Structure formats: C-alpha cells, structure tokens
Amino acid sequence: MQKNIDSRAKIARLAFVSSDLDRHSEWRGQVETVQKLADDPDARFVGILGDAVAGKGDKPDYGRPQHMGESIFLGLDADGHPWFAYAANESETLALRPLLLSGSLPQTELSRLAQARSLVHWHQSHAFCARCGTPSVMQDAGYRRHCVPCGGDHFPRTDPVVIMSVEHGDAVLLGRQASWPAGMYSALAGFMEPGETIEQAVAREVFEEAGVRVRDVEYVASQPWPFPASLMIGMRATALSRDLTVDGNELEDARWFVKSDVQKMLQRSHPDGFYAANPFAIAHVLISAVVDEPSQE
C-alpha cells in the first residue's frame, strides 16, 4: 500500500501529465463557437516557435498576439478560460526544456504547453497533403487538416514509444546515448512499429539495443512527450540473463548497475558521478519501480 502511494506520488511529479483542460472536442467543428471562444477577453494564447514558447524573462506571454493567423483550440481551464495555441514568430521566446528543468511553472501549465507544442509542430510539418501533394487547410479548430482537391483528411500524429526498465536479480539494465551529458544513464526506449503489441515492442527494442531477451513485460505508467509528439508507454520487464551485446548505433553504452547504486544514481549521490533520469521524465518512475522493491528472483 505504501509502495502504491509512493508510485502515485512519483507519477504526479512527471512533466506533462497534469492537464486540467477540458478539450471540448464537440465544439471543434463549430466555427462560430470557436470564434466566440477566441474573442473572449479571458482567452489565453500560447505562441509556439520550434521548441520554445513566446514570452519574456522566465514567463510565457499568453496575451493575444497582434498577428496570430490560425489558432488551435486547446480547451477550457478550471476557471472556464479558453486556451488557444498558434505558430509564433516572436523574437522573445523561452525554450521549453529549460522551463521544464527550472520547475518555475505549475504542472497544469506545462501540460498545456505540451499540447500546444505538439499540435503547432504537426501543422507546420504537415502543410501539404501526403496523399496528393496539394497544400491542405486547417479544420476542426486545429485537430484535422483537409485536402480540398483529393478530399483527404489528416489527423494529428501521436507516436507511441516504449520505454522500459529491465531488471535481473539485484541489477538494472541502463543505457546511454552518445549525445547525453557525461555520466547520465537511463531506461532503453524506442518507437513502436506497425503490427506489434506493446509487449513485443519492448522485447524487440531491448534485444536490438542491448542483445538482452526479456520476459514478464508489464505496464507501469504513460507520459506525453512533446518533442515533438510522442506518447511514452512506460513498461518494466525481467531479463533472462545478464549477457549484453550493445548496438553501437543506437546506444553508446549499456550496462548492468546494482540496484543500490541505481538508488544513488536516482538521488544524484553516486560516488563516480553516474546519474539516472530526471524526476520529471517517466524513466525515473520506471527505474524507481524496479529498485524500490525487493528483487522478485
């Protein structure tokens, strides 16, 4: 019971999982309703430019922009204020990743930024119909693009990614990419492919990246990850053995760490400077899930 509460508390600390917006999808097709919401003096506007949000200093600016173009309806907040997203061209912006790290924004606000960032990126990278090559038009308040000549309808992408902690007795399998800061290790992960289950994707990715076979694949938690539009599906699994064959392309290194060391890596107190995922990332919850409990072997 205590363990369950710990786990819930850890999940609540994740970034992007705490949206309070009611999306009101039933309004999206009603052009006049959406226009009325946008005209509401209490409406908030999230300007997205690449990985950044319009704003100054350390505060996003949710005011109505002078030149907005098409806007995307995100939903109503708990006070009934409508939230919109638009493609910004402001010179003053705040990068999303440092905002995340700084912890200066409430969790609900970070979640709105995630929704805004994924949707704006989708429109910017899908301005043309993939079926016939013609420019398409935004519809349904930003949740559809329509191609007039060929009649094609296109919907926002959400790319499922499996991410998993793998244990074997008193050890945990962690890997690192060459681009990460020195000393950082985290859970293995990879995009799901057509025609596989979540459980098969976990087994495939762990074998491809580390040459390790797994069993007892279980779901732990999920997290939207707006760089640009992933759904992180957080899993845990048990390895059949500790033999490793590291794929040098996807990972620079993968190794087994003893659980007591991983505890220190999570708390950033490992004597050799190794550390594991940040508490806002689902990898932290997944790694915690296998080190916080006695081994099942």
Stretch in the footprint of its own copies (CB under 8 A) among 19-27, 60-68, 99-107, 257-265: 19-27
- Residue 292 near residue 6, CB atoms below 8 Å: yes
Phi, psi of 293 (to 5 degrees): -125, 155
From residue 14, give the alpha-carbon distance in Å to each of 43, 115, 132.
Answer: 27, 15, 40
Which class for 94: exposed (0-12), middle (13-18), buried (19 or more C-beta within 10 A)? buried
Instruction: Name the residue nearer to its own copies (CB basis): 9 or 258.
Output: 9
Among residues 132, 137, 148, 178, which is the contact residue for its own copies, using CB under 8 A? 132
Q: Does 216 bind its own copies (CB under 8 A)?
A: no
Task: Note the Cα 114 to chain centre separation in Å.
Answer: 8
- Residue 236 near residue 290, CB atoms below 8 Å: yes
Among residues 49, 226, 237, 277, which is the contact residue for its own copies, using CB under 8 A? 226
Q: Does 93 bind its own copies (CB under 8 A)?
A: no
Stretch in the footprint of its own copies (CB under 8 A) among 44-52, 166-174, 175-183, 192-200: 192-200
Which class for 105: exposed (0-12), middle (13-18), buried (19 or more C-beta within 10 A)? buried
Among residues 64, 131, 144, 146, which is the contact residue for its own copies, using CB under 8 A? 131
Among residues 193, 216, 243, 252, which is the contact residue for its own copies, using CB under 8 A? 193
Among residues 249, 260, 269, 296, which is the contact residue for its own copies, using CB under 8 A? 249
Among residues 60, 82, 175, 224, which is the contact residue for its own copies, using CB under 8 A? 224
How many whole angstroms separate alpha carbon 81 and alpha carbon 43? 6
From the CB of residue 212, how many other CB atoms can be counted at a distance below 10 Å? 24
3-state DSSP assignment of residue 269: coil
Instruction: Name the residue nearer to its own copies (CB basis): 47 or 224.
Output: 224
Peptide linkage before 228 cis (omega within 30 of 0)? yes
* String marking each residue 142-181 x if it binds its own copies according to CB under 8 A: -x--------x-xxxxxxx---------------------
Q: Which residues bind its own copies (CB under 8 A)?
A: 16-17, 19, 23, 25-26, 111-112, 114-116, 118-119, 122, 125-135, 143, 152, 154-160, 191-200, 204, 208, 219, 221-224, 226, 229, 231, 233, 247, 249
